Amino acid sequence: MKIAITGAGFVGLTTGVCFADKGHQAICVDINEGKIAKINSAVPPFFEKGLEPLLKKHINKNFTATTNLKEAIKSSDITFITVGTPFDGKQIDLSYVKAVSREIGSALKEVDKYHLVVVKSTVVPGTTDDVVLPILEETSGKKAGVDFGVGMNPEFLREGEAVDDFSDPDRIVIGGMDDKSREVLESLYQGFGSVDILRVNNKTAEMIKYTSNSLLATMISFSNEIANLCSSIDGVDVVDVLGGVHLDKRLTPIMPNGERIRPSFVSYLESGCGFGGSCFPKDVKALVNFGEKRGVRMEILEKVVSVNVNQPFQMINLLAGHFPDFKNLKVSVLGIAFKPGTDDVRESPALPIVEELAAKGAAIKVFDPIVRAESESSLKELNNITQAETLEDALKDVDAVLLITRWQEFEKIPELLKKLKISPLVIDGRRMINKTAVPKYLGIGLSQDPVFSK
């Protein structure tokens, strides 16, 4: 089929390139000329594992990028809306969704066959039917359900795994205003194997996306609340506690041969210094606000947010328990990206941690395998921050090391400390290092007394 994708960000470009890889003809549209030129020269404007080779394979064959929205829509059967929904601190801002809907509508005036418009951006329930659909009707002068259809097809793409998540999905949610919209959308997903397909109305599709992310975020904040209690109980380590919980066969089923399956879902039931990224913090807050507007207080989700806002400061508390005065304390912060495998720093717990350390006068070294401190504007402005070029460099000549992001490279810390014959206090915000493998260790969910290995 021929598809247009409006908004060439992380979701839009991945969607376009992956649909092209499934044999469809895809055109990505964006207003940013520089971005389009980059894509057309086969360079993704952001880092996403596996995307560049696919882009190289399909560019100028069954995938192209353009700034000409009208032409893209006229030559397509389906148009996806994948523009951003920025968060204003309380709710999502629909101005890009509305603007692109108006443009799509005016392009539809010149389309003389049935066309399907599908919202893929994460939007609160009712947005597709009550905001996008009326704009499309008004600007096209045509009738939804007759001349064109409207669908909602949420994405479940993890940054860093987006190509695999798209190509080999766990579910496909087909939202539509009517059967015809759903049928056309579903036909696009032939070729995705025997994956579960859920056919629902648009509001349900919108709600599924928010509920999925809210559940995962809830699991993380729940694990962190338990961790904070464990750290107040002498001799109790949250890693053992949650490890025991994970052995519930409803979480990790036992196969007939006695082996356990450990679904990746279970790793959201691990404690740490908080979740970040462009989705969880924003989606949970947006759902709380959506509930508020409908007179439904989302008390659990309110707490999911507040536990998460406080969680990075557990790292600061652990440090303060050992070094009460941060003035001129030399501290390394390991990891700026909100999670491994991405250069995305949005809502990363590293940011409030570095800001707090800087405010309290610490001398900070920062190291991340991909992100440089100077590329992040909020860090650039702070005093007393230096960029370490290597992990080894980051470990040298500091009093304490705060491990924030679960980058695999950080597993080498014990070995490097041994080699360098140094013993800074290691505060493990991801509980990824064996607590007896370094000379001085503190971790989230472990009592405040540092573990001194023998």
Q: Nearest-CA neighbor of 451 among 432, 427, 429? A: 427
Name the minimum Å distance from CB 161 to ligand UDX: 7
Q: Which is nearer to ligand UDX, 64 or 342 (CB)?
A: 342
Q: Nearest-CA neighbor of 163 among 369, 334, 341? A: 341
The H helix count followed by the E strand count for the chain is 18, 15
Q: Which is nearer to ligand UDX, 267 or 384 (CB)?
A: 267
Q: What is the DSSP string of 159-179?
A: TTSHHHHHHS-S-EEEEESSH
Name the minimum Å distance from CB 249 to ligand UDX: 20
Name the minimum Å distance from CB 255 to ligand UDX: 22
Residue 178: both structure tokens together: 């009517």
Q: Using an 8 Å Cβ cutoff, are 274 and 227 in contact?
A: no
Name the minimum Å distance from CB 399 to ligand UDX: 26
Q: Which is nearer to ligand UDX, 25 or 271 (CB)?
A: 271
Looking at 200-311, list the stretches that DSSP marks H as alpha helix, in order from N- to C-terminal side. 202-230, 238-246, 280-293, 299-310
Residue 386: both structure tokens together: 């230096």
Name the minimum Å distance from CB 67 to ligand UDX: 27
Cα distance between residue 61 and residue 21, in whole Å: 10
Cα distance between residue 343 and residue 159, in whole Å: 9
Name the minimum Å distance from CB 15 to ligand UDX: 12
Q: Which is nearer to ligand UDX, 158 or 246 (CB)?
A: 158
Q: Which is nearer to ligand UDX, 268 or 323 (CB)?
A: 268
Question: To 10 degrees, the CA torsion angle through 224, 226, 230, 236?
Answer: -110
Task: Answer yes or no: 279 catalytic.
Answer: yes
**Core vs surface per residue 79-92: b (16+ CB within 10 A) or e:** bbbbbbbebeeebb
Q: Which residues bind ligand UDX (CB under 6 A)?
A: 155-159, 213, 216, 220, 267-268, 272, 275-277, 279-280, 338-339
Q: What is the DSSP string of 310-348?
A: HTHHHHHHHHHHH-S--TT-EEEEE--SSSTT----TT-
Residue the block writes with tokens 């991945």:
14
Q: Nearest-CA neighbor of 328 among 357, 285, 293, 291? A: 357
Q: Which is nearer to ligand UDX, 363 or 427 (CB)?
A: 427
Q: Which is nearer to ligand UDX, 336 or 362 (CB)?
A: 336
Active-site residue set? 279
